[in-house]
Amino acid sequence: SDSGKDAGRFTAAWELYKAQEDVVAVCKEYNIKITLFHGRGGSVGRGGGPMYLAIQSQPPGSVMGTLRVTEQGEMIQAKFGLNQTAIRQLEIYTTAVLLATVHPPVPPRSAAWRSVMDEISDAGRKYYRQIVFETKEFLQYFHEATPEAELGNLNIGSRPTRRKSSGGTTQLRAIPWIFAWTQTRSVLPAWLGVGKGLQAAMEKGHRDELRAMYKEWPFFQSTVDLIEMVLAKADMPITKHYEDVLVSQNVRELGKELRDEFHVTEKHVRDITGHHKLSENNKTLRRLIESRLPYLNPINMLQVEVLRRLRQDETNPKLRDALLITMKGIAAGMQNTG
């Protein structure tokens, strides 16, 4: 959660992978049995995603017959709300843990692959932090382009959206950070910085290595697949509509830069996977996404108009209720929300 918000999704995933390797090595040296506790969120930006892939992409030796995970509120309903669905989820967990124990996932093939990962992580983290923490227009853009400010006034969530009343992005909790960007269909926290990282690796001549890593290394494959899934769910024309209606003229240039970065990320992800379309290898996912669009797109249009009116009439209870309804609709359509 917070590591992703502080450094970007790719860096957070890679640093956690290395940390698990170190913990496993120490425990093996002293003959200590270990169970790692994964505090995953529902969204990709907070470490979420299909649990089978997540378990199968853990470092070798980190899943030794046991696993402990958290499931977020909205994911509990989705995964365990119905009897047959709950049984299916438990079967997936059990199968993945058994396979990871008996036949551990392969580690990086060589030190060169680790070096490439470090290069991607470093370049991606620098760009992510440059945008989120060092670009003075970013906070204004975030407040205006998303319903983040309005989230705190609605009776949803178990905790305040911020740890303190001030402090900008650093004090914002990870869940509303993800939730706000998901509402606008940009899903920015899950991909920001990834494109710059992959581009840096490409420019150093690692294109063939990246393709080999995707084919042979489960961790890298699952990381790229999750980012690809998020890119497939995002919709830049919808995001731009939020900007056109709600964002001040002086920060719109930042919005254009972010959309350009989205397209750079998409280009490099498709290059590595060899896909002509995002998630073309997952026809079920594409069908699910496309089947929701006739319902999801109008709700986004409504939300933009409700936000525009609410910011001119902040105490209007009907507008607040309308905003809450649109938030629930978009969250249901996007699935992994916070």
Q: Look at residue 192 in the predicted model and tell me its pLDDT.
A: 96
Tens digit of each residue's pLDDT (9 = 90 or more) over 32-52: 988 888 766 555 544 556 778
Q: Look at residue 158 in the predicted model and tell me its pLDDT.
A: 52
The two most distant CA atoms of the chain are separated, in Å, by: 64
Among 228, 164, 174, which Cα is nearest to 4's? 174
Tens digit of each residue's pLDDT (9 = 90 or more) over 90-131: 999 899 899 989 988 888 989 999 999 999 999 999 999 999
pLDDT reading at 241 higher than 90: yes
Residue 109 DSSP label: S
The residue written with tokens 């299916």 in the block is 88
Q: Look at residue 208 in the predicted model and tell me its pLDDT.
A: 96
- The whole-number average pLDDT for the span 206-225 is 94
- The whole-number average pLDDT for the span 303-309 is 98
pLDDT reading at 160 higher than 90: no
Residues paired with 212 in a beta bridge: none
Tens digit of each residue's pLDDT (9 = 90 or more) over 271-297: 999 999 998 888 888 898 899 999 999
CA 67 to chain centre: 22
Q: Look at residue 259 in the predicted model and tell me its pLDDT.
A: 98
Residue 50 DSSP label: -
